[in-house]
Structure 1
Amino acid sequence: MGVELATEAFGDDSGPQQPPILLMMRATASMLWWPDELCAKLAATGRIVIRYDNRDTGQSTTAPPGQPDYSLDDLAGDALAILDGYGIARAHLVGISLGGMLAQLVTLMRPERVARLTAIGSARFDEDDPTLPPMDPDLLEHFGGIATLDWSDRHAAVDFAV
């Protein structure tokens, strides 16, 4: 089955450009959590700015609830496929939470494709570095409930997101 990823680009690519920015959102949130104003202001600096929906968010391909048919490596590959789709060889990656982890993976997988990496509120991949704080256990517990959440219950889904 093919994967379809919803994207939106800001900016004008007709003039000299700064390196593009790929905005990578957290789990369970669509690209719309990157505010239009932020995207437009970044694009006004002479950049193409792209935001997108990860699988299982927004308008991108979805799997049955609680049964993802993809891995973190696949999600990192999606980011590279988006860059390829826009004809972008190298970009700044800006990710928040899961998006930051994916940006780290892309950087590890294909460092030549990454101009800079900005990870916001993300877990690290270097578990051996004691100077970096771990993810908050309460947050892990909260997201642990995602597998049993009844997504057809609008109130339960809203309560989970809030």
Structure 2
Amino acid sequence: MGWPDELVEALVDNGRQVIRFDHRDTGLSDAVDFTTHPYALADMAADTAAVLDGHGVTAADIVGISLGAAIGQWLAVHQGARVRTLTAITSSPMGNNPGPAWARAVAGQPAAAGELPPPTARFLNHLTASATAPRATRRQHIDADVQTWRVLNGDVLPFDEAAARRFTERCYARTGNITAALNHDLAGRRFGDDRRAPLSAVTAPTLVVHGSEDVLLPPAHGEALAGQIPGARLEVLPGMGHHPFFSPGLTPRIADLIIRHTTGRQTA
């Protein structure tokens, strides 16, 4: 449910059929014990393919944001026939392991040569502060989550706190185990040869959308992703942070980019 109705309606009004679903460990999907049943990006990609199978869709225009964009990359590399186009928003090459860069940044050490940059100091400081934020009540949990959305929004474009709060409240109402979604972070840290497969194998027309003010994955991540996929187009949106949908005006702009990208495929 992370994709706003405004974006979905814009796509439907332009003739698209939109499928959005709850990943495992979110919303109405099953929650698992990650310790006994760990999973990885490949498993989440298999879930996505299963959803397409359930709807009788052989190939689709895949749009993902952050981890979802990494899932899209995995499909485009390993199941390319299922991906007509790929739109990757605020993401990084799926084979990039950010752990060492994060560790160096937290320790106050300089980045290694050729390493993609860690999150900004603003975001890392927020993580430290958030770790001690009170979460004894549901309201406190929601307040802490809204503050994280604020930081991810960046400091350049306006932040719609009311929209972020409504979204967070719907997430809590929709699931029986809100903390299960933290397993996605654990899954994202699992790296195997499947994730290290070269993105040069991607044949789907690809659009990479990144924000100039992304505090989690600075713009170099989007540049690297576009640079590794043949023919990929990079669109850097001025002022956009890591999560664009709580900044007024960005949702219709992203919808327009998706429409133009997928229409380009259809008319080529």
Taking structure 1 as the reference length, the TM-score comes to 0.63
Gap change, CA 1:114 and 1:134, over 3 Å in 2: farther
1:83 aligned partner: 52
Answer yes or no: is 1:157 the counterpart of 2:141.
yes
Find 2:32's aligned residue among 51, 54, 63. 63
Matches within 5 A, 1:11-160: 31=1, 33-64=2-33, 69-127=38-96, 130=114, 133-136=116-119, 142=127, 154-155=138-139, 157-160=141-144
Describe the SS at the equivalent of 2:20.
strand
The higher radius of gyration belongs to 2
Query: Counterpart amino acid of 1:158?
Result: I
* Count of residues in correspondence between the two structures: 127
Residues 112-139 of structure 1 deviation map (CA, whole Å, 9 limit, x = unaligned): 11011111111212549x5x94452665
Report 1 or 2 for greater relative contact order, CA contacts < 8 Å, sequence distance ≥ 6.
2
Distance 2:134 2:37 in 1: 15
- The list of structure 1 runs, each at least 4 consecutive aligned residues, that deviate by more than 3 angstroms after superposition, is 64-69, 132-135, 137-142, 149-153
C-alpha distance after superposition, 1:96-118 (max 9, x if no partner): 01111111111111001101111
Contact 1:65 1:151 in 2 (8 A): no
Pair 127,64 (structure 1): closer, same or farther in 2 beyond 3 Å: closer
SS of corresponding position for 2:44: helix
Q: Is the strand fraction higher in 1 or 2? A: 1
SS of residue matched to 1:48: coil
CA–CA distance in structure 1, aligned partners of residues 14 and 23 of structure 2: 26
1:18 corresponds in structure 2 to none
Structure 1, unmatched stretches of 5+, are 1-30
In the superposition, the TM-score normalised over structure 2's length comes to: 0.40
